[in-house]
Chain A
Amino acid sequence: MVSGAFYLRSWAEMFFFVLLVLGFLFSLLTPSAVLSYALIFTVGMAGGRLMFERKNRLTFPYYLMLIGFLIGYLLGAFYGNRNIMVLLFIIGGFLSYYLHDSGIIRDVRY
């Protein structure tokens, strides 16, 4: 039986795997190149928001999870160019980070 300490130690890897599967499913669910690009750009923006939230704190596990999603998405991508998807993911992330960092988008704190 797996102890609770295992989950405490390995949560990042577990989420990496969960997001990898999620990315794969998302990718399979979008049978169109344009929608695939739009979806990965949106998820990239969510990633940028997450990294902004983790600013000046531990970030590596979150990079790992985001990369997990990206790998899963690329594995399932049937339509569209995978290089463009990676590019859109990165652009979405940087754009979202910049918009939050410069105060153009102010998110809710709760």
Chain B
Amino acid sequence: MGELVDLVDKVRKYYKFSPAEWRSILITIFVLAFIIHFGQTIPDADVLTTTAFSVYNFIIAVIVVAISFMWHLSAKKIAALHVGFRAQYNLWTFGILISLVVTFISLAWGRPVWVLFAGGVMLQHLAGHRLGFFRYGLNYYEAGWISMIGPISSIVLAAIFKALSGILPSVFVLKAITFNLLFAFWNALPIPPLDGSRMMFGSRMVYALSFFFVLAAVILLWIDIPIWIALVGSVLIGLLGWILYYIFIERGFWHGPYP
């Protein structure tokens, strides 16, 4: 209970966005919305109808990306506060530009591919909140733990949208589910400064578990099966992948105190 009160207090005090962070967030939202707004067309429509439909798609995309991205970022910020850090979002310009380049090339072939590289969070130490029990300073394990929350929160949001698919309009829900699943997948890749790289530096074993979980969740939530089966199946596949990773790869790296 004490920890929860402490977390609520920290959220009240430190859950803020700087102007630079807002700029990065807005750029990210608009670019990602631009990427995902392609893909749906009205056949045999005139220019005016096509333009109006494109604008409508873009507005839907902005709403989807804004909700999903803020959820993802807030989860990481709150997780960071829980551990005793303040997370600040920063844009990854090369990532954004790579996503755009892939979109343009794939658009030319009529089938847009969503590569969603956004940015990374920088962690700052909340010194006053880390006295006593905690070891002083930032470490890889905690940074990895905070980053793990990002893809998992996107998977959870995709599951929530899937559960709400009967209530919300189908265009919105389908886009939201697809965006969240793909955003979780791309973020889980071990490319700096994405979340996957921090997770991998934190602990390879935990990374293997969470990566296989995310991969399985992306596939199982996409296909038409009940949500609870998809989530339980993802956890089981994650555990299986984790064990296989240990047996076939990690054991070769690590011949530590356990022969």
Q: Which residues of A contact B (CB under 8 A)?
A: 26, 29-32, 35, 38-39, 42-43, 45-46, 49, 96, 100, 103-110
Contact = CB atoms under 8 A, between A and B. Distances in A.
A49 B97 contact: yes
Interface residues of B, number: 23
B23 A106 contact: yes
Contacts of A46: 93-94, 97-98, 101
Ranked nearest first, the 6 interchain pairs of A and B with the lowest CB-CB distance are A108-B90, A110-B193, A46-B97, A30-B108, A39-B104, A108-B193
5 contacts: A26-B101, A38-B100, A106-B24, A107-B91, A108-B90
B48 to A, nearest CB: 19
A74 B74 CA distance: 44
A29 B108 contact: yes
Interface of B: 20, 23-24, 27, 90-94, 97-98, 100-101, 104-105, 107-109, 119-120, 122, 192-193
Given A103-B20, A106-B23, A43 B91 contact: no
Most buried by B among A35, A42, A96, A108: A108
A39 B101 contact: yes
B191 to A, nearest CB: 10
B154 to A, nearest CB: 19
A106 B104 contact: no
A100 B109 CA distance: 32
Contact of A35 (B20, B97, B107, B193): B107
Contact of B94 (A29, A31, A49): A49
A45 B122 CA distance: 23
B107 A108 contact: no
Given A30-B104, A31-B108, A105-B91, A110 B120 contact: yes
A96 to B, nearest CB: 7
Nearest to A31: B108
